[in-house]
Structure 1
Amino acid sequence: MHCIVPHGRRRAARRQQRGQALIYGMFVVIGALAALFFLFNTGQLSQEKTKLVNTADAVAYSAGVMHARALNFSAYGNRALVANEVLVAQMVSLSSWAQYAETRVQNLPTQFPECLDSSGYSSVWTSGVKYGPDYALMCYAVVQYLGQYIEDVAKEVPDLTEKVVKAVELNKTAIQQAHNLLHAPLYLQSLRAEVMQDVARANYVHDGNVQVEPLGPGIASALTDDWGSFTRKHSGQDRKRMAELARYAAHTDEFTRERKWDSFAVAPACPLTLGRSRVIRGGGTDLVNYDEWIAQDTESWWEAQPRFFRCRYREKPIAYGEQQAHPEGQDQDDSGASLGGARDNPQASNMTSSSHWTGYSGIPNYYDLSQQQLDKSDPALRFSVRLVRARSELRTSDGRSAIKASSDSRINAYKSKVASDVMAAVATSEVYFERPIDQRENLYGKTLSRPRELASLFNPYWRVRLVHSETDVQAQQLLQGASIP
């Protein structure tokens, strides 16, 4: 038997069920909206994190590039200082040589009359037997043809070379002033801060305020800064390395290092002992201590004379010249200088009337790595930065985003949460020393028998790279109460 529900009762039941789906739908919409805000804020925070990390890397790398360029500039400047010292040594050598040439032209005709006969022509054969053929030909050429020309030119050389040394001193002063400015306590730091700020702002154009300031939201502050202790100025007795390098570089020029030759001839007065008369020419340039370049040139005729069945030699000075360059009132003790054997002719050496240039300032002060860094096999300069972005600057629902939630809305339970209301990123750059890879070798100095080139501020091979931030730097971040992406 079928139960038949009256039509009116069915209509009443349908009216009682109406609106239940709406309540369910409201819960679904609220959950979807919360999920939407959650996903939106999560995506925005992820994007902010990536951008903040990339910006921190850019800021740290820019600071590292400045450090590397500063070290390379110092290296090029030190090389320029060495080159200027080499030029001073060469000018001193030329001046001494010119004085030697002038006295030689003046003394040859009177000290060696064999170079002239009564008619004014050289007795080449006679002088060749006595002094040797090479010296006889030279004597003939100087006395007969080149003497006046050589003397006129030689008289001008000392003044010209002194002017060159004065110009060198101006150049050295300019280089030293540039180095002093670069290594001043606050100059590079202030310039670096401006660059860091510009880089940070360039990465956040039209995207909030990122300022490099001592305090406040949105700062990029240095966590480590070893620039001041990485290098130091070497002056006084600490200039040894520069002096040794300048001396070595100057002596790579054979004319500067040693101007020496001999000419031998048979000594008729000593036939039994096979004695030989000879002309000895010596000359060279040396650095005395750290503040004086000295050059000396001498030439003497050592004539063999018999004495008790043996030969003794008697010196007859021919020519001589000397030039010194040192600061005013700081003439050094140069008794230990070898001067290319110039003092092997003692009488000629004593006859030199030394010319002094007092405008020379000596081996310059210079910047190099600190001793602590020089003792390391691979010194490196690390620099860490901390970039901070305030919560109010983030593009989230409770930040700068166009999607907002009312302050009293329960949806704010899903708003972004960052420690201390800031988001921070740490990046570290490292400046290290490495010569570029040689095409013929895997790495310069590690193959064949070539020595490994050590780091210093005399070689401009400083490069920069990003490295992992040290644990202590990250710990410092946590102590400052910032969330690290």
Structure 2
Amino acid sequence: MLKNLSLQRGQAMPLIVGFAAIISFATLLVFNNAMGGVERMRTSSAADAAVYSGAVWQARMLNGEAYMNKGMVANQVAIAQLVSIQNWVQYVDRTAENFDDLADVLIPLKIISTPLLAATTAAATATELFVIPATIVTDRVIGALQDTQDALHTAGRVGASSIMTAVVRENDERFEVTDLGILWMEQNQDDWRNFTISYKDLEGMTRKKTVIENSQDQFSDNRSWKWRVPLYMSTVAYVLKEQVVKHGETRLYMEADPEVENKFRWQWRSRDTMSYHVGYFDEWGWPRSPREVAPIGWHQTTLDSGEQIKQNWGSRWSRNKEGEDDAIEESEELIATYQGVRTYRDVAELDTTEQEGRDPRLIVAIEIVLPSDEVRNTSNTDIGSDQAPESKSRNGLGLKVFGMDDGYSESEIGGDRGVAAVAAAEIFFRRPVERQAGKFGAQDSKEEFANLFNPYWDVRLKDSSEHRELAWATRGLAAIPNGAAAQ
């Protein structure tokens, strides 16, 4: 019995060695596969982060350009307000002067008219001292906003590529942007350059003029009213109706320069009038509409960007015909530097009859790669052997047992390239949900087409299948991890 035991001594050693080899092989294989999945996820996440960051940058630049447009419009409205205030104060002063002239006949009224005229004259002088420099400063602010808009446009074209490259490197210094990724970034720069244009022609400037006019406040747009004199206050017994009609508004005029193409002269024209109207019965006993009997006060002020515009100069804006004629005849020009409505940037495709014109998109895409010699696996981390044994091992398991494969097929890494990932994002215009629903100041729930007057540009990742197919066609790759799911 003892003799048999001694003959079996050492029989388990080959089995132990064999099991150890199998376990080692399995461990290294699992390690490689696990690290392969991690590297693919990190590469894909880095590609997503890069395109999203680049798209966010460009969306912010578009929204910044929209704010510049809003700022230019707001400051044009501010100039309209300044001209309106100047004209209204001068109109009040003119009304007080007419009242003082009436007091020359009705002497007791001098007690009121004299101090009133002095006060309005002082107010008119003080207002002019404020309005002129305020208009000059506001006009310079508009010029600064225009320059800033141009700078934002340049920054959007150049900055996105730099940001995307920086994000890739910050995620992992081992990542590299491929030549195809660089080509896509250059394509994005070209798309960005053509996505918006500077409008300076007649149609474009007329559109901006309309936006400014629709943005005017109530005081500059329409400060009119009328007051019907009660019957018990009627001055004549047979009078049907007596009215005091006040009309005031400020309008923007543009006129093409006949000597220079795409150059326009601009004018803010503000007019205030007040007249006394009376309606009578005619000889047949029928009431007639009140007619202007006497103008009470009037004034007109203009602010020109160059040579004074005489467009529709004699046109009347209200029923106060005599008052308006007097205002036009005594019109005064506000002496202040004013460059008019500036050129502006807006989306290039404004054709709302086609979907692409209503909803243009700007695409950002990238391809990055983790070189094969940077992949963390048994070959690059000194775990196992990255070379096959030159001869048969003593354990008899054969060659290439510990010459571990990296865990990536040729189709996935493109030969010796490593792990590659493609991602894409899009910049789009969408009115906020609250405004679509008619809430928070929205006047309606209509669709708003893409424009650079409202900062509603947003970003989202998009399906990168088309870019992956292009990468396959370009490099002969059979499978590149998708950087983002379809949205």
Q: Could you state the TM-score of these two structures normalised by the residue count of structure 1?
A: 0.76
Number of the residue aligned with 2:392: none
Q: 2: CA distance between counterparts of 1:157 and 1:413?
A: 87
1:182 lines up with 2:160 in the alignment = no
- Residue 285 of structure 1 contacts residue 339 of structure 1 at CA under 8 Å; is this kept in 2? no
Q: 2: CA distance between counterparts of 1:48 and 1:340?
A: 76
1:321 lines up with 2:316 in the alignment = no
Report the CA distance shift for 1:91/1:219 in structure 2 as closer, same or farther (over 3 A): closer
Number of the residue aligned with 1:36: 27
Number of the residue aligned with 1:233: 198
Number of the residue aligned with 1:149: 119
SS state at 1:78 partner: helix
Shift of 1:414: 1.9
Alignment of 1:416-431 (within 5 A): 416-417=407-408, 418-420=413-415, 421-431=417-427
1:476 lines up with 2:470 in the alignment = yes
Q: 1: CA distance between counterparts of 2:307 and 2:24?
A: 89
1:363 lines up with 2:341 in the alignment = yes
Number of the residue aligned with 1:74: 65
Number of the residue aligned with 1:287: 252
Shift of 1:18: 9.0
- Residue 80 of structure 2 contacts residue 220 of structure 2 at CA under 8 Å; is this kept in 1? no
Q: 2: CA distance between counterparts of 1:314 and 1:165?
A: 35
Shift of 1:392: 1.4
Number of the residue aligned with 1:128: none
AA at the equivalent of 2:270: A
1:257 lines up with 2:237 in the alignment = no
Q: 1: CA distance between counterparts of 2:384 and 2:320?
A: 92
Q: Which runs of 5+ in 1 are unaligned?
A: 1-6, 123-139
Percentage of identical aligned residues: 23
SS state at 2:403 partner: helix
Alignment of 1:88-127 (within 5 A): 88-111=79-102, 113-114=104-105, 116-117=106-107, 121-122=108-109
Shift of 1:70: 1.7
Alignment of 1:316-395 (within 5 A): 318-329=296-307, 331=309, 333-335=311-313, 339=317, 343=321, 345-357=323-335, 359-372=337-350, 375-376=354-355, 377-395=358-376
- Residue 69 of structure 2 contacts residue 344 of structure 2 at CA under 8 Å; is this kept in 1? yes
Shift of 1:306: 13
- Residue 69 of structure 2 contacts residue 452 of structure 2 at CA under 8 Å; is this kept in 1? yes
Q: 2: CA distance between counterparts of 1:261 and 1:476?
A: 70
- Residue 247 of structure 1 contacts residue 287 of structure 1 at CA under 8 Å; is this kept in 2? yes
SS state at 2:101 partner: helix
- Residue 316 of structure 2 contacts residue 324 of structure 2 at CA under 8 Å; is this kept in 1? no
AA at the equivalent of 1:69: R
Q: 1: CA distance between counterparts of 2:315 and 2:77?
A: 17
Q: 2: CA distance between counterparts of 1:194 and 1:308?
A: 85
Shift of 1:262: 5.7
Number of the residue aligned with 1:246: 212
Report the CA distance shift for 1:437/1:282 in structure 2 as closer, same or farther (over 3 A): closer
Query: Cα deviations across residues 52-72 of structure 1 (Å, max 9, x unaligned)?
Result: 111111112211221222222
SS state at 2:363 partner: strand
CA RMSD of aligned residues (A): 4.0
Flag the structure with larger Rg: 1
AA at the equivalent of 2:341: I
AA at the equivalent of 1:362: G
Report the CA distance shift for 1:286/1:464 in structure 2 as closer, same or farther (over 3 A): same
Q: 2: CA distance between counterparts of 1:266 and 1:65?
A: 69
Report the CA distance shift for 1:449/1:174 in structure 2 as closer, same or farther (over 3 A): closer
Number of the residue aligned with 2:393: none
AA at the equivalent of 1:90: Q
Number of the residue aligned with 2:484: none
Q: 1: CA distance between counterparts of 2:273 and 2:432?
A: 47
- Residue 296 of structure 2 contacts residue 323 of structure 2 at CA under 8 Å; is this kept in 1? no
Q: Which runs of 5+ in 2 are unaligned?
A: 256-265, 390-399, 482-487
- Residue 292 of structure 1 contacts residue 326 of structure 1 at CA under 8 Å; is this kept in 2? yes
Q: Could you state the TM-score of these two structures normalised by the residue count of structure 2?
A: 0.76
SS state at 1:333 partner: coil
Report the CA distance shift for 1:340/1:193 in structure 2 as closer, same or farther (over 3 A): farther
Aligned length: 437
SS state at 1:183 partner: helix
Report the CA distance shift for 1:385/1:339 in structure 2 as closer, same or farther (over 3 A): farther
- Residue 288 of structure 1 contacts residue 294 of structure 1 at CA under 8 Å; is this kept in 2? yes
Number of the residue aligned with 1:405: 385
Shift of 1:97: 1.6
Report the CA distance shift for 1:258/1:476 in structure 2 as closer, same or farther (over 3 A): same
Query: Cα deviations across residues 202-256 of structure 1 (Å, max 9, x unaligned)?
Result: 322xxx43355x749x979638623333322222320233221211221x41454
- Residue 267 of structure 1 contacts residue 276 of structure 1 at CA under 8 Å; is this kept in 2? no
Shift of 1:143: 0.7
- Residue 260 of structure 1 contacts residue 341 of structure 1 at CA under 8 Å; is this kept in 2? no
Number of the residue aligned with 1:85: 76
AA at the equivalent of 1:210: F
- Residue 283 of structure 1 contacts residue 296 of structure 1 at CA under 8 Å; is this kept in 2? yes
